[in-house]
Amino acid sequence: MKLSGAEEELMNFLWDLKKAYLKDLLEKYPEPKPALTTISTLLKRMQDKNFVDYESEGKARLYFPLVSKEAYFGKHLQGLIKNFFNDSPAQFASFFATETSLTEAQLQELKSMIDDQLNRKK
């Protein structure tokens, strides 16, 4: 399942904070800040999608993510590869290496990471 842009922004705040009350999440927003009811609505939708949950502490709710940032991004990236690169990680890697402005040092770093992964698979 995918998050909307507004939900992703809020989820990023929650990933950064790990656990947060509504007021903590509101503080993370730049001006002009959204209404508390807007944030509450987003949290409810995200809870319905099983991305967040909360613990009750008196009348307050302490929200926390149920999905890690890495897991969400991994699923998102898999969708991009499937939908835009004919389900070919090689086409994605080729596009990434040729169509971005990576320096030689950054490409060497990526090559080193790939070499490390290949060595672990042996």
Q: Write out the chain's pLDDT in tens, 122 residues.
A: 789 999 999 999 999 999 999 999 999 999 999 999 999 999 999 999 999 999 999 999 999 999 999 999 999 889 889 998 999 988 888 888 888 888 889 988 988 998 899 899 88
Asked if residue 43 lies in contact with residue 52, where contact means CB atoms within 8 angstroms, the answer is yes
Asked if residue 54 lies in contact with residue 63, where contact means CB atoms within 8 angstroms, the answer is yes
Q: What is the predicted pLDDT for the residue at 94?
A: 86
Please tell me whether residue 62 adopts helix, strand or coil conformation. strand
Residue found by looking up tokens 């080193």 in the block: 112
Q: What is the predicted pLDDT for the residue at 122?
A: 82
Q: Tell me the C-alpha distance between 14 and 86, whole Å.
A: 33
CATH architecture of 5-65: Orthogonal Bundle (1.10)
Q: What is the predicted pLDDT for the residue at 96?
A: 82
